[in-house]
Structure 1
């Protein structure tokens, strides 16, 4: 998207990225429904990888599947929703977009599958689509307070990560994903990231909808704020984001 979108042009440099690339920096971008396609974003990722030297960390936010979903794409789509019964043009359009993402993601994976450089891809969604409420009610789990806040993620590598494929699905809130990635890749972690792994062991989900502890017990957000580990975490966030880590800066940075 454009650099000014959500103030990313000022936000991302503060997060420590060496380069920030927006829509204005890329030529001949493929557009679909007025938005850059996922295929175009992945193409830019491959270009940056090829142009880079040594280890790289690339973070990409895609826009193709963003709402609204009333552009008429579903009218000419060969995709049809058979269940639940009813007319859901917005959901149909969103699912058609997922088909395009599937194809583009397959190309991205196949590209890195052939690369000798050890590479990990972590892909996740930030929220569910704003499609018909009747469709969501019919497809999401009942009596699940987190249903509207849950999205899947995939961790893929072109080498053996040594993960236990028989283990149950991993459930975590998105604040833990970066630490999970570093731990899986056997890379160094900062003090904050190590603390997050400890926090995850006790409270694997911290959400606006509430908290889940390690035994699957639900804790509402107000009560969770007073839990010692979560309270300490909020202090660390405040110090890092508001005070720019002026206190205990070594805790937030890599060091020998």
Structure 2
């Protein structure tokens, strides 16, 4: 059974809590940060330097929500987390090992970008790497992004190790905001690259583990670059603190990194082969940080899977929700985690999709809706997934 000490906090701060109702159509900046996570969710360890100083300083701050995101992949498969976030669908309903973007994205795909576009947002995707990776160059068009900016479209960038740094990336997000069409609210979906593997590049470590028996240089390099991401996020937030237009920022990780198995095994106190399914799922938790320069609920969410995260964002951006997002709000109240690794109910019980329990019927309906959303373009019930005039408030 999972630790449910934060259960009350989930109920108070998660889906269904509303922001300042007077704010309409704020700018929305979403960052899916490569391999960004807080490995303390696996087991506690100590370091000589705080690797998330900004986010830790904001744990009790106003207009800030942080927490754990349960994802369906580790070390790779970035676009599956992206798919869950942007569509609200779950990888729990697709074959093990499959990739939604490369196998199934063949036509118009309702989701967050379309929902915001229907509310007159400009919609920009930005990824400082090759556009063709994971079929993004086609998928973003299917999802109704106005434009996709990739590595091919940028110059004079700065790298940390092998990849474009988050500091440069986030500054470019600010530059794109400054260049926006000011007649429309601004939606940015940014997928970063800085923290991508490998973690043995020889970077001088800013962070050292002090409480463990083993020597884990890959983990220390990883923690050192995560610290750089945290510092870059602080700069981004500080910029928008001084912007008069209402703006909300969400950053979350796509998966945990591929680092030493021995690091994980020392934290668990056992071989990875000996882990229960529920124990193993702790390797499939990343971190999210949401902040706004206007009033939103504050707190910590211990359990939310990636498929619900865009609905949480949309709620706090005070935008109209589709009927599908309303459905996701309701499912979340009973089963806050639905992923390829398993589900967790509101009482902290772990189970696998397909197990017979009190939530089987609800999850079967969810799976059918997700299938209709992803696969059945000609039979799709668009009134559920888009903001047709009949769904406007």
Q: Superposed, which structure 2 residues align to 1:23-62 within 5 Å?
A: 23-52=151-180, 53=182, 54-62=184-192
Higher helix share: 1
Runs of at least 4 residues off by over 4 Å:
140-143
CA distance 1:245–1:112, change in 2 (3 Å): farther
Quickly say closer, same or farther: Cα 1:243–1:70, change in 2 above 3 A.
same
Contact 1:3/1:23, CA 8 A, preserved across alignment: yes
Deviation (angstroms), 1:78: 4.2
With over 3 angstroms needed to count, the CA separation of the structure-2 counterparts of 1:253 and 1:140, relative to structure 1, is farther
How far apart are residue 164 of structure 1 and its match? 4.7
After the TM superposition, which of the residue ranges 184-193 and 218-227 deviates more from structure 2?
A: 218-227
Tell me whether 1:207 sits opposite 2:335 in the alignment. Answer: no
| Matches of 1:227 and 1:112, distance apart in 2 | 43
Per-residue deviation, 1:245:
6.5
Whole-Å separation in 1 of the counterparts to 2:194 and 2:228: 9
Name the structure 2 match of 1:244: 377
**Taking structure 2 as the reference length, what is the TM-score of the superposition?**
0.60
- Which residue matches 1:147? 282
Q: What residue number does 2:386 align with?
A: 253
Q: TM-score, normalised by structure 1?
A: 0.91
Deviation at 1:85, TM superposition (A): 2.5
Q: Which moved more, 1:217-226 or 1:194-203?
A: 217-226
Residue 173 of structure 1 is matched in structure 2 by: 305
**In the aligned structure 2, how far is the partner of 1:13 from the partner of 1:224?**
38
SS in 2 for 1:172: strand
- Unmatched runs of 5 consecutive residues or more in structure 1: none
Higher relative contact order (CA 8 A, sep 6+): 2
Following TM superposition, by how much is the alpha carbon of 1:219 offset from its aligned partner in structure 2, in angstroms? 1.4
Q: Contact 1:211–1:224 at 8 Å: present in 2 too?
A: no
Show the 5 A alignment for 1:30-179: 30-52=158-180, 53=182, 54-73=184-203, 76-139=204-267, 144-161=279-296, 163-165=297-299, 169-179=301-311
Aligned positions, number: 251
Secondary structure at 1:20's aligned position in 2? strand
Give the gaps of 5 or more residues in structure 2: 1-128, 270-274
CA contact (8 A) 2:354 2:360 kept: no
CA displacement at 1:145 relative to structure 2? 3.9
Q: Indicate the RMSD between aligned Cα atoms, in angstroms.
A: 2.0
More strand by share: 2
| 1:140 Cα offset (Å) | 5.8
Q: Does 1:234 align with 2:367?
A: yes
